[in-house]
Amino acid sequence: MLQSTVFKRCAAALTAVAGALLLAACFVMPGKFAATLDLRKDGHFTYTYKGDIVILGLTRLAEMAMAPKPKAPFSPSTCYKSDGETERACTAAETAAQKKDWETEQTAKAEKDAKDHEMIVKVLGGVDPNDPKSAAEIAARLSGQAGFKRVTYLGNGRYDVDYAISGVMTYDYAFPTIERMPQVLPFIVLNRRGNGEVRIDSPLMQQAAMSMPGGNAAQVVAQYVGAKDGKPAGDMKDFPVVDGHFTLVTDGVILSNNTEHGAKTVPGGKQLDWDINFFTAISPMALVGLNP
């Protein structure tokens, strides 16, 4: 009985965590991927990304968190005598008061759930995750953006994409951006400084590895949110997990980086490599000097 209660409490708490993450800015995550950045000292660059883009609001974890919860019937609380320990039968007035409080709580919860859902729709740029057409709508938006050569929805919030774009570093660059979704936290950001330096950061990759849907946290939530009869559900084996590699090649001057093994010489100049997974300790970063 105690074990069942613990599982139910864990499920409730983790469902709340999942719901909070759905409303967070970092609701788009990488899954399995290979990304490359070729940055020339004259400012020309090419960025490629092949692999998964995961929309957390479309995953089964989101479906669990957002699913309507069955309304438990009203059950009066125990009443006690003046000593605070001896149980007694509740009066009709006491039972009525308890029921009124319970109804107020139920109404407040329903209103909160409705507001949370409305907020998620806004975060997704007007796409309702409960609408079966929502996945296709996001795929169409991505397909219409420059650089996306392929966008295929694989289910469970996961899009398989093939992306490549070239440009000149006279401006800042970020990937991904999704039309009508300004809250998307990018996987990679290139900032051009006035002195000719370019700073490369991956603000989301570490966060994705250490939070949902990547890593063990998602599996734990998936188990307990789906728990039945006091027992955790089985692993969601196809649940998106962050597992990728990022390669930077440049003929500029590498002024700083946080790779594990440093730069190596390749035909195009110097190469830096980062593995991105659940064990990623810090977000990839490099500072490259270009021609002034």
Bridge pairing between strands 269-276 and 243-250: antiparallel
| Per-position DSSP letters for 129-190, written without gaps between them | TTSTTHHHHHHHHHHTSTTEEEEEEEETTEEEEEEEEEEESSS-EEE--BTTBTTPPPSEEE
Q: Check residue 205 and give its pLDDT.
A: 61
The whole-angstrom separation of Cα 59 and Cα 100 is 37
**Polymer length of the chain:** 292
The answer to whether the CB of 246 falls within 8 A of the CB of 202 is yes
Bridge pairing between strands 158-168 and 253-257: unpaired
Residue 91 belongs to some domain of the structure:
no
Q: Check residue 150 and give its pLDDT.
A: 97
The answer to whether the CB of 61 falls within 8 A of the CB of 215 is no
Kindly state the DSSP code that residue 57 receives in the 8-state scheme: G
Tell me which residue range forms the domain holding 189: 2-66+132-289
Residue 111 belongs to some domain of the structure:
no
Residue 271 belongs to some domain of the structure:
yes
Q: Check residue 227 and give its pLDDT.
A: 46
pLDDT digits (tens, 9 = 90+) for 6-53: 334 444 444 454 555 554 434 788 889 999 999 999 999 999 999 999
Instruction: Enumerate residue ranges in the chain where pLDDT < 70.
Output: 1-26, 61-69, 123-125, 129, 204-240, 292
pLDDT digits (tens, 9 = 90+) for 71-98: 778 999 999 999 989 999 999 999 999 9
Residue 147 belongs to some domain of the structure:
yes
Residue 126 belongs to some domain of the structure:
no
**Domain count of the fold of the chain:** 1
Residue 51 belongs to some domain of the structure:
yes
Residue 86 belongs to some domain of the structure:
no
